[in-house]
Amino acid sequence: MKMNQRNHEEHIRHSLDSFCKIVIKLKSIDIHRENKHRRDHELSLSDLSAREIIGTAVTDRYFADEHIFSVIGESVGVTSDELAEALKTLPADRREIVLMSYFVDMSDREIAERLNMARRTVAYRREKTLVELRIILESEV
C-alpha cells in the first residue's frame, strides 16, 4: 500500500513538472511572437530622421489665443478665432444657450430650468442658432 501511494505522489510530481514545462515553453513562444510583432510594426525614435521627429512634435496652446465667454458664472474658452467672432455676433440669450449646451455640456432640460423657459424653446433656439452659425462660418471661408 505504501508503494502505491509513493508511486501516485511521484506520478503527480512528474505530471506537475511536465505541465510547468509546457506552460513555460508556450509563454516563451508568446513572448517571441510579441517581440517579432513589435519589431515588424514599431519604429524606434533613433531610427527617425530629424525631419520626421519634428513632424511628431505637438505644441500645447494652454489658454493661448483663447476667447473667454462668461456663461452662468463660468468662464468658457473658445480657441477658434472664427467661431469666437461668430459667437460674438449672436444675441446674448442665444449665445448663452449654445455655450451652455456645447461648452458647459448641459442638457436642454437643464438649460430650460436655468433660463426659466420651456425645454422645446431651448431646443428650437439652439437649432436655429446652429444654422445661423453655420451660415456665418461658411461665409468666412
Which band of pLDDT confidence, cut at 50, 70 and 90, is reported for residue 61? low
pLDDT of residue 33: 96
pLDDT of residue 56: 79
Angle CA 82–132–91, to nearest 5: 85
pLDDT of residue 26: 96
- Domain residue spans in the chain? 2-42, 67-140
pTM of the model: 0.54
pLDDT of residue 121: 94
Average pLDDT over residues 50-55: 81
% of the chain beyond a pLDDT of 70: 94
**pLDDT, averaged across the chain:** 87
CB 94 within 8 A of CB 122: no
pLDDT of residue 63: 58
- CATH domain 67-140 topology: Arc Repressor Mutant, subunit A (1.10.10)
